[in-house]
Structure 1
């Protein structure tokens, strides 16, 4: 038994957009709701993935690796921040 749908999103569409979506849903043999949910979910997953992944060119990658391998000595501001964090715990 499929899960009950409990959430609703209302959209305002132009007539052209509505016709386009209806046609695409029909061609996909889906209801408009199925088509809209599948399309929006797919796009949402793409956007989330793009924001979760950091792609670096070779030069940037080398700089990150260098910083991780040879971190700079902590400056006064970093030491102060670390001390404040310890005091909060």
Structure 2
């Protein structure tokens, strides 16, 4: 049995925004509520994912900066890959 939807968010929109949302909902064959919930949920997921990928704790940040400042010497596999790439040119 699906969960009951009982949460509300009230919005104030300009006439232009409301018209655009209504038109987009109609074009996608969705109710305004469906369109807004889907759109907001997708955007929320994107923001959360970007934020989680970009935020590092201090120890991780220091580790990244150390690797950038003092990169390791190339190993044999990297040297071979670079040679293959150069030979293709």
Give the structure-1-normalised TM-score. 0.61
Aligned to 1:63: 66
Q: What displacement does 1:65 show?
A: 8.1
Aligned to 2:22: 22
Please give the alpha-carbon distance, in whole angstroms, between the structure 2 residues aligned to 1:50 and 1:6.
Answer: 29
Please give the alpha-carbon distance, in whole angstroms, between the structure 1 residues aligned to 2:37 and 2:67.
Answer: 39
Q: What displacement does 1:33 show?
A: 0.2
Q: What displacement does 1:17 show?
A: 0.2
Q: What displacement does 1:63 show?
A: 1.7
Where does the alignment leave 5 or more consecutive residues of structure 2 unmatched? 56-62, 70-89
Please give the alpha-carbon distance, in whole angstroms, between the structure 2 residues aligned to 1:45 and 1:52.
Answer: 11
Aligned positions, number = 63
Runs of 4 or more, structure 1, over 3 Å off, are: none
Give the structure-2-normalised TM-score. 0.61
Aligned-residue CA RMSD in angstroms? 2.7
> After superposition, what is the alpha-carbon deviation per residue over 1:13-47, rounded to whole angstroms, capped at 9, x for unaligned?
00000000000000000000000000000000000
